[in-house]
Structure 1
Amino acid sequence: MNLEKRDIIIKEIQYWRKSRLLPEQYCDFLTNLYDDEDANKDNNPISLRNLQQGSIKIWLFSFGIISLIFLISLYFSVFPWPLQLATALSVLIICYGYSAVYKDRNNVISLILAGLGSVLTLGFGLWLIDLHDLDPQLWRPILIGCCGLLWCILGFLLRIGLLQYCGFAFWALLYAGFFGGRSPEASIFELEFLWLPLCVLMVWLCWLLHHKVRGVASVYFAVGVSLWIMPELDALLLRQDYPQWISLMLILKIAAGLALLFGFRKKWITWVAT
C-alpha cells in the first residue's frame, strides 16, 4: 500500500480511538492490519525485534532503570523518612504517568505500568508501616482506604476496568473489617442487610450511568455481582462459629444469581456493552 495512504488511514484510526467512535479492540485490529514493521517499531520500542536492532541508547537506558530499581530496593530502609516518601511518590508518579502516556500508543505497556504502580503503592505502604513501627491496626486500614480511592480514580481516568474493580474490592474489604470489628457476632440476616443494599446500589448505578459515562457500567455491574455473595463470604472467611449450612446457602445464592443473570441477560448485557 502507498505509504501516504497508509499514514492517512492510521491517523484516521487514531482519531477514532481518541474520539471513542469504535471499540478499543477494533482500533487495535485495524492498526495492526494497516501498520507496518516500522510503525510498530515506533509504537513498541521494547519489543524483541527492536531490542535486537536497537541502538546502544536503548540498552544503556534499560541498564540505568534496572540499576536504579536495585539501588532503591537496597538502600530504601536507610533513607530518612522524607526521602523515603518522596522516592515512593516519584516512582508511583512515573509508573502511572507513563501508563497514561502509553494508553493510546500501546495498551499492553500501559496496563503493565499501571499494574506495577498499583503493586508498588501497596508494597511501599506496607514497607513504610513496618520500617517505622507504626500501629498496623490503624495504618493498614488507612493504607487500604487510600489504595482503594487511588485505584478507583486512576482506573476511571485511564479506563482500566480491572484497576477500578480492585479499588472497589479494597473498599469492600475495609467495609467488612470495620463492621467485623463493630459487630463480630452479627447474624447472617444482619450481614445480608449490610451487603445486599450495596449490591442493589451498584447495579442501579450501572443502569443509570451506562449511557452517560463510558467505562464504568461494566465495572459497577461486576462489583454488584460480587457483592451478591459477600454476606456468605463474610460469614465464612471473616467471622467465627458460623454453622455449616452457610456453605449450602452460598451455593443456593450463586444458583439464584445465575438464574437472575440469565433471566435479565438482554438488559444487563446492553448496559455492560454500551
Structure 2
Amino acid sequence: MDQERRKTIVKEIEHWQRSKLLPDQYCDFLLNLYLDEGQARTPVTFAGRAAVVVKAASVKQWLLTFGLFSLICFVVLYFNEFHPLLQIALSITGVLVLLSIGQKYRERNESVGLGLIGTGMLLMLGAGLYILQLHELLAWGWQAGLLGLCSICWIAFGIGARIPLLHLCGWMASFLVYAWLLSNNTESPRWFEIQLYWLPASFVFGWCSWFFHRWSRSVASILFVAAALAWFMPELYCAVFMKEQIGLQLQLMIKIIAGGATLFSLRKQWIAWVA
C-alpha cells in the first residue's frame, strides 16, 4: 500500500479513537494492521502526548520550566509587597500572556483556547478587585470604573477575536455599571423615569444591530440581544435596587406583550440582520 495512503488511514483511525467513534480495542487492532513493523505509535490521549514531550525534553527545557514555575511562585507569594504600579503591570502581563496563548491554541483546539481566554478575562477582573481591596479603595466608584474598563476590553476583544459570548458579557457588564451609576445618583425615581433611563438604550442597540449587520452578522446578533436585554432592564433594575416594587409584574407582562408583538411584526427585518 502507498505510504501516504497508509498515513492517512492511520490518522483517520486515531481520529476515530479520540472521538470515541469506535471502541479502543477495535482501533488498536486496526492500527496494528496499518502501522509498519517497528513504527512508533503516536499517543492519542493527552496524558500519553504529555509523557512523550516530557521524555524528549532537554536539560535546557527542564531548567526553563522550573525557572518559570519558580518565578510564578515568587510573584504570587510576594505580590502584596510590590509597588501598586508593579502589581498592575504584572496583572496586565498575565492577562496578555493568557490571551495570546489562548488565541494560538484556538487554531488547534477551540475549547482550550476559549478556556484560556476566559481565564485571562476573569484574571483581569479578579486581579483588579484584589488590588483595589488590598489598597482599601472600596468606594463603589473604583469598582464601577474597573468593571467599566473590563467591559470595554471584553467588547473590543470579543469583536476582534470573533467571540460572541465575550462580546455579550461586555455589554452585560456595561449594563451593570450603568445600573450602579443610576442607583447611586438617583433618589427614588418614579417608574416612568426608570423606563426612560433604559428604553432609549434599547432602541439605540436595535438601530446599531441594523447598521452593523451589513459588515458582521455576529456583531449584529449580539447587539440585537443587548437591545432585548435593555428592553427588560427597567424591571430588573426595580427588582434589584428599588424597595417599592408596586406594579412590577404588570409592567413586565406589558413589556413581554409589546416586545413579542414588535418582534412578530418586524420579523422579516430583524431575522435578516441576525440570521
Task: Please report the TM-score for the alignment, with normalisation by the length of structure 2.
Answer: 0.75
- Cα distance in 2 for partners of 1:62, 1:217 equals 44
Verify the 8 A CA contact 1:148 1:171 in the aligned structure 2: yes
1:179-258 to 2 correspondence within 5 Å? Answer: 179-243=182-246, 245-258=247-260
User: 1 CA distance for matches of 2:242 and 2:136?
Assistant: 28
Q: How far has the Cα of 1:82 moved from its partner? A: 2.8
Shift of residue 131 of structure 1? 0.8
Supply the distance in 1 between the matched residues of 2:68 and 2:143 (Cα, whole angstroms): 30
Matched, 1:140 2:136: no
Q: Please state how far the C-alpha of 1:132 moved relative to its aligned partner.
A: 1.0
* Displacement after TM superposition at 1:246 (Å): 0.4
Distance of 2:107 and 2:207 partners within structure 1 = 31
Aligned to 2:114: 111
In structure 2, runs of 5+ residues without a counterpart are: 19-43
1:98 corresponds in structure 2 to 101
Aligned-partner SS, 1:159: coil
Distance 1:253 1:55, change over 3 A: same
- TM-score between the two structures when normalised by the length of structure 1: 0.75
RMSD: 3.3
Offset at residue 3 of structure 1 (A): 4.5
Select the structure of larger CA radius of gyration: 2
1:95/1:114 contact within 8 Å kept: yes
Q: Distance in 2 between matches of 1:171 and 1:50?
A: 42
* Larger CA deviation: 70-79 vs 57-66: 57-66
The aligned residue for residue 13 of structure 1 is none
Q: Which residue of 2 aligns with 1:55?
A: 54
Q: 1:232 to 1:47 in 2, by over 3 A?
A: same
C-alpha separation in 2, matches of 1:186 and 1:46: 59
Q: Per-residue CA shift, 1:85-126, capped at 9, x if unaligned?
A: 221111011011222223333221221111101111110111
Q: Is the 8 A contact 2:167 2:222 kept in 1?
A: yes
- Asked if 1:83 corresponds to 2:123, the answer is no
Query: What number of residue pairs does the alignment pair up?
Result: 241
Q: Percent identity?
A: 32
The answer on whether the counterparts of 1:129 and 1:136 sit within 8 Å (CA) in structure 2 is no
Structure 1 portions without partners, runs of 5+: 8-32
Cα pair 1:188 1:232 within 8 Å, conserved: no
Amino acid of the structure 2 residue aligned with 1:226: L
Q: Secondary structure at the match of 1:129?
A: helix
CA distance in 2, matches of 1:141, 1:240: 22
